[in-house]
Structure 1
Amino acid sequence: MDQPDPKNGAGLILSATEPIRSFLALASGDRHLSEELREIATDLRSKNTVPYRLLRALWTGSDPSTRPDLLGLCSGSDFVFTSPKPREKTEELKLRLLKLREIAERKEYAELVKDITPKKQVEEPFSSYKDQLGFGLHVGLTMFTGYLVGYASFRALFNRNPALSAAGGILGLVLAMLVETLLFIIKTSKDDQIQSSKSFTQSSASFTPTTKKNQ
């Protein structure tokens, strides 16, 4: 069986009881032990905890005729658990925590001033009857123009066939409607981007987050 290393005090920790202290007092003067082990025994006498590896090393090297039973020696002793070292924060984690703190501060600031800050008016498309009427006339004119162009094109291509001419007109109407829809989507998206950019600029100018130094 391998002998425990006297210099290695890691592992199981026991609370020092009276039987253990008495054994350490005897071990500090035991000639069967090396000088190093006697110094360890002397040092452990004044402590409240004893590493089991060192205690077993002292017990193994002591005089078998005078040493107590190992089980009886450890009887009544409690296990002592040490707390792990706190985890060190990496630079990446510190930066992330800093950003989260800034976001939280902005939310707190917005919550504090929401009652005194005037609400932003969102400009909705076609908010007036004039805009609605103008857009409706524009779409109607575009669809009518598309119908005429499609009708005339198919009539010229298919020898004035009424059915195919009507189909061409319907096709031109649908294409004109799709073009108007696409233009409307592009215009609405551009307006939303401009509005968002203005809102972000105003909020950045009205609030400057305070950065606290890490303790």
Structure 2
Amino acid sequence: MSSDNPNQTGLVITLTESIRSFLLSVSKDSRLSQELRELALALSSATDASYKHIRSLWIQSDVEARPGLISLFSGSNFVFAIPKPREKNSAGGIIGLVFGMLFETLLFIIRTSEPNLKSPSSTSRMKKNQ
């Protein structure tokens, strides 16, 4: 599942009927601020919502009237947002290639400048001659 709203951050869950009915009851609760009631009403018509918003509404609602948090979220699923594609810098690939070539050249110079190292082919020839 992927989120319809790319602006949602954090944990996003699908709305079940129990969450939807809770949000509708919170939207009619006169003890809550107008802003929270509007948020609850807007979330009740969505397909998914931020856990942070639902939990804040749950905390602000009446203790005797609200359902248990675990029972409220039972049956809902996580919604994963599709990440935006990574922007690649074209200069990064070229710089990596140049540094790789310089590193290989440095390794070649080190290998060829050591007098004690013999190549495997010369060692096998010496064994053959003995």
Alignment TM class, shorter chain as reference: 0.5 to 0.7
* Greater fraction helix: 1
Secondary structure of 1:50 counterpart: strand
**Corresponding position: 1:14 with 2:16:** no
Secondary structure of 2:79 counterpart: coil
Aligned counterparts of 1:93 and 1:42: Cα–Cα separation in 2: 48
User: What 5-or-longer segments of structure 1 have no aligned partner?
Assistant: 1-8, 97-215
Partner of 2:22: 23
Aligned counterparts of 2:79 and 2:59: Cα–Cα separation in 1: 22
Partner of 1:61: 60
- 1:41-79 per-residue CA deviation (whole Å, 9 max, x = no partner) reads 111111111111000000000111211111100000111
Partner of 1:43: 42
Aligned counterparts of 1:89 and 1:55: Cα–Cα separation in 2: 37
Aligned counterparts of 1:31 and 1:95: Cα–Cα separation in 2: 63
Secondary structure of 2:13 counterpart: strand
Aligned counterparts of 1:28 and 1:95: Cα–Cα separation in 2: 57
Aligned counterparts of 1:84 and 1:93: Cα–Cα separation in 2: 22
Aligned counterparts of 2:26 and 2:93: Cα–Cα separation in 1: 51
Aligned counterparts of 2:93 and 2:38: Cα–Cα separation in 1: 45
Correspondence 1:97-176 to 2 at 5 A: none
TM-score by length of 2: 0.61
Letter paired with 2:43: L
Aligned length in residues? 88
Letter paired with 1:52: Y
Aligned counterparts of 1:40 and 1:95: Cα–Cα separation in 2: 50
Secondary structure of 1:58 counterpart: helix
**Corresponding position: 1:52 with 2:77:** no
**Corresponding position: 1:73 with 2:67:** no
Partner of 2:112: none
Secondary structure of 1:26 counterpart: helix
**Structure 1 contact 28–39 (Cα < 8 Å) conserved:** yes
Aligned counterparts of 1:17 and 1:24: Cα–Cα separation in 2: 11
Runs (4+) off by over 3 Å: 93-96
TM-score by length of 1: 0.38
Aligned counterparts of 2:59 and 2:70: Cα–Cα separation in 1: 13
Aligned CA-pair RMSD:
1.9
**How high is the sequence identity, in percent, across the aligned residues?**
48
Larger Rg: 1
Letter paired with 2:20: R
Partner of 1:92: 91
- 1:11-43 per-residue CA deviation (whole Å, 9 max, x = no partner) reads 111111000000010111112221111111111
- Return the structure number with greater relative CO, CA threshold 8 A, min gap 6: 2
